[in-house]
Amino acid sequence: MWAYTYTEWLVAALAGFLIGGLWYGPLFGKAWQRESGLSDERIASSNMALIFGTTFLLNLIASALLGHMYAASGQPSVRAHFLIASGIGWGFVGTSIGVNYLFARKSLKLFFIDAGYWTLAYTAMGAVYAYL
């Protein structure tokens, strides 16, 4: 049963999306771009509306499934919200990225940028569910 409302899904998704804007913008944008091997021209020629729209949709799916996990867990404590969310971010997403990056020969710096984002994004989503 989905125990959270659409509003909570949206707010949690928005939290992850906004963190991504800061993370891949002013905080680590240039380092991420350099480590990813993307030129300014390649980024400028991208369909940013499609990228941002799809990114928000994917954050919404992640948010809804996180909410469902909390509901299935019997409405955990605030502490458990943070532990579950950060555990998903680092333990599932981060390690999955790590395996892919090892085989793709991506840098450790890029790994920490991307895995760090997902850990923080999931933790922020968890905070929304804990406090809304």
Structural tokens at position 89:
């971010």
Structural tokens at position 119:
């850990």
pLDDT at 91 over 80: yes
pLDDT at 2 over 60: no
Structural tokens at position 8:
């909570």
DSSP 92: I
Q: Report d(CA 57, CA 3) in Å as an integer.
A: 20
pLDDT for res 33: 98
pLDDT for res 3: 64
Identity of the residue numbered 88: I
Which helix or strand (DSSP H or E) is residue 23 part of? Answer: none
Q: Report d(CA 68, CA 3) in Å as an integer.
A: 7
pLDDT confidence bin for 132, thresholds 50/70/90: confident
pLDDT for res 5: 85
pTM for the predicted model, two decimal places: 0.93
Of residues 28, 25, 16, the one with CA closest to residue 118: 16
Percentage of residues in the chain having pLDDT higher than 70: 98
**Residue range 3-22: mean pLDDT, rounded:** 93
Task: Give pLDDT tens digits for 24-66.
Answer: 999 999 999 999 999 999 999 999 999 999 999 999 999 999 9
DSSP 1: -
